[in-house]
Chain A
Amino acid sequence: MDNTSIWIMIIGVSIVSLAPRIFPVAFFSRYEFSAVVKEWLSFVAPAVLGGLTALSILAPQGKIDISIQNIYLWAFLPTIVVAVRFKNLFITLLVGIATMAFLYNFLGM
């Protein structure tokens, strides 16, 4: 891909990736959602995080991998326990990263 094409690509991607983030806020801020729509929207965050968590743990390389060889699945176990117990993002992150480093370096997973 030549230089000009790369710049055109970057600008094109910029437009299509920013539009869906900016337009709803810009457009809908003027309207009042009905109670049902608000309720529906309130479930979007738990739903998205359920999906993202499942994909990041069970399909870490973009392919579904539900097996004991999946190092992410092992690292997930202490991480979820700490997340539930402390409800603290930073502590959870540290435990998750440390567990991953341990599994990778010492257990050769």
Chain B
Amino acid sequence: MQQKELKQGMKEAIPIVLGYLPLGFAFGVLAKEAGMSVAQAVMMSVLCFTGAGQYIAIGIMQAGGAVVTIIMANILVNLRYLLFSTSTVPYLKDRVQPLVASLLSYGLTDETYAVAMNHYQDHPATASYLAGLNLTSHMGWIGSTLLGAVLGSFITNTERLGLGFALPAMYTCLLVLMINRRTDIWVAAFTAMTCLVIGYLFPAMMDNLSNLIIATVIGATLGVIINGQH
């Protein structure tokens, strides 16, 4: 364990934890309302760590849906991680032991992925950094779920604190940080547009983020094509 790397990872997780706070809290509240115990709500955050997926589970539970439906929806929602995870391989390979890298990928989310990829642009990947980043973020998710499940009935409006904008602000900044090549701008803009157009034409795809997957595949392909012309 390299302490400095671990601390760096933990430090970079702070904005993520801040963003998870209202989301995890809200999940805790909703899970209780949908009939889960505090232990079940917390264990779901420990074992699944999938924001969108957990919200969908609650939605289907409240609508009286089946376990199979929840799992099918979660397969779709989590499919994008196949892409994310694969794109971290060139950075982790030869630097982090495959077994350790696989285990730490448990903590891969939209947010930890974006922060780590940004970090890898000018720092080599290390197991300690990844552990600090992913485990701290996961702790934030679990802790806020616990708070929501326990205190849910007391605190109602987190909108007042502006925390609803924590994740959008984080995505905005990470997007800016991720744009290093001219082509990146085109890829990001094109993917954003495609994502919205697909979502507009097929609103159901917004629920499981399959519009994001399709748009990303098209956008990354466009990037390779543009680069190939130079």
Contacts and interface: CB of A to CB of B under 8 A. Distances in A.
11 contacts: A1-B61, A24-B82, A39-B223, A39-B224, A44-B87, A47-B223, A48-B191, A56-B171, A59-B206, A101-B162, A105-B160
Given A9-B67, A93-B166, A14 B48 contact: yes
Contacts of A89: 12, 15, 115, 170, 173-174, 177
B198 to A, nearest CB: 10
Interface string B82-123: 111111111011000011011101101010011101100000
B90 A96 contact: no
5 pairs of A and B residues whose beta carbons are closest in the complex:
A96-B169, A101-B162, A50-B188, A43-B223, A100-B162
B85 A100 contact: no
A101 B161 contact: yes
A36 interface: yes
Interface residues of A, number: 77
B169 A41 contact: no
A28 B98 CA distance: 9
The listed residue with most B CB atoms (<10 A of its CB), out of A6, A8, A105, is A6
A44 B195 contact: no
Nearest to B185: A46
A48 B115 CA distance: 12
A62 B117 CA distance: 26
B70 interface: yes
Contacts of B115: 89
A93 B101 contact: no
B8 interface: no
Interface of B: 12, 14-15, 18-19, 35-37, 40, 43-44, 47-50, 53-54, 57, 61, 67, 70-71, 74-75, 77-90, 92-93, 98-99, 101-103, 105-106, 108, 110, 113-115, 117-118, 159-179, 183-184, 187-196, 199-200, 203, 206-207, 211-212, 215-216, 219-224, 227
Contacts of A105: 160
A54 B215 CA distance: 12
Contacts of A7: 40
Contacts of A39: 223-224, 227
Q: In the complex, which of the residues A80, A93, A104 has the most CB atoms of chain B within 10 Å of its own CB atom?
A: A93
